[in-house]
Amino acid sequence: MDLKQTPIEVPATLEGITRKKDRSVSFRFNSLLEVSNADFGEMDKLFQSVGYLLFAERSLTNEDIPDEEIETDISKSQSVQLRDALWVLYKARGNRTEDKELWNIFYRKQMQVFKARVLDEVHKLDDTN
């Protein structure tokens, strides 16, 4: 197993979970033991990085740790990523970013174009079957 970094292993209590708008979940844990400054510094280096969270009511082994890579662009849902990409296109075309109504018209039009392309592909597949 090729771990880029030694995993953090801390006895902890799951104190709370919260559902977010994009249906992902925010977790809140508290360590059961004191954490040294050095260990806290190592944890702090990982602030806002992407990784796996393994939690069990037993000790975990190396076999429990997945070795596949994680998709790193998951802080935003796919729909938000698409909206952001359309915003970049909107700006690149020289549109006025302060005109929110014009942006909304552009966004709706682009989404309708995308929807039509997907449905056109569905109809083509239906016609061949």
List, for residues 27-64, the tens digit of each pLDDT value: 999 999 999 999 898 888 888 777 778 888 888 887 88
Whole-number percent of the chain with pLDDT over 90: 38
The pLDDT value recorded for residue 28 is: 93
**Cα–Cα distances in Å, from 124 out to 112, 114, 116?**
18, 15, 12
Please check the confidence at residue 23 and state whether its pLDDT lies above 90: no
**Residues 92, 83: Cα–Cα separation, whole Å:** 14
What's this model's pTM, rounded to 2 decimal places? 0.46
Give the distance from CA 121 to its chain's centroid.
28
